[in-house]
Amino acid sequence: MSDANPAIDHQFLTVGSADAAREIAYVVRPQAAGATGPALVWLSGYRSDMSGTKAVEIDRLAAESGLACVRFDYSGHGLSGGNFVDGTISRWLEEALAVILHVRPERIVLVGSSMGGWIALRLVQELAKLANAPKLDGIVLIAPAPDFTSELIEPHLTPAEQSSLAERGYFEERSAYSPEPNIYTRALIEDGRENRVLKGIIETGCPVHILQGMKDPDVPYQHAMTLIEHLPADDVVLTFIRDGDHRLSRPEDIERMVAAVKALIH
């Protein structure tokens, strides 16, 4: 990084209590003196962390714009404590909410990638229940995967995977992004049903920009179209990237992401 964008030390926040307590690593870039824009909050995808390409680019944009930026690792990810196999949407949502309420920015823009898009939409619902919650200025969703456990995994389980879930409590799936397989637990899938957002109108009360690759092998582009049907009251922009994959981390994809965020902060 350049001198204009220095590395920031991570901190830890204890979330949960007793046996459920875990140390969540987070990084806060402070707002520049005199700046008035919203804080950017990065929400990673499944098995991704706050050191990924897109997360770092969001932090860089915040630095260039004088804005605050909040990044963190879910439990079982990156620098955070806890076991990955204990992770559920409810658990990771609790951590995201705890970090935001701990930092307490007045205004925020949520930027969620893949599963982070699901967490972002659940955060909207949870923040709406709270008094004095940060004001939501906008949301950018990158290859969002809301309800992926019930919509994209469960309908396609093989008999062997179903047996593994029943007998072992999880099944493994080869990952295109890591030598280690993806692990999906029965707890994750059952909890996912309790966190579905594609079951009624989602009221965000702010502009939403969705970036979706049309060659995404993990989240079909039709899933983004389904999501839009549940956002009828919002100002929603959907950008299809004809040759885009799931990660959307190429230079041209990063430019689109940065432009989408810039449109919400200026």
For the segment 113-166, what is each residue's pLDDT rounded down to a tens digit? 999 999 999 999 999 999 999 999 999 999 999 999 999 999 999 999 999 999
Residue 160 belongs to some domain of the structure: no
Residue 2 belongs to some domain of the structure: no
For the segment 171-222, what is each residue's pLDDT rounded down to a tens digit? 999 888 888 899 999 999 999 999 999 999 999 999 999 999 999 999 999 9
Residue 154 belongs to some domain of the structure: no
Residue 74 belongs to some domain of the structure: yes
SS3 137: strand
Residue 166 belongs to some domain of the structure: no
What six digits make up the tokens of 82? 């806890």
Q: Is the pLDDT of residue 105 over 60?
A: yes
CATH of the domain at 142: 3.40.50.1820
How many domains does the chain fold into? 1
Residue 183 belongs to some domain of the structure: no
Residue 39: give the domain boundaries. Answer: 11-147+201-265
Residue 191 belongs to some domain of the structure: no
Residue 51 belongs to some domain of the structure: yes
Residue 233: predicted pLDDT: 81
The whole-model pTM stands at 0.95
Q: Is the pLDDT of residue 2 over 70?
A: no
* Beta strand 208-213 pairing with 135-142: parallel
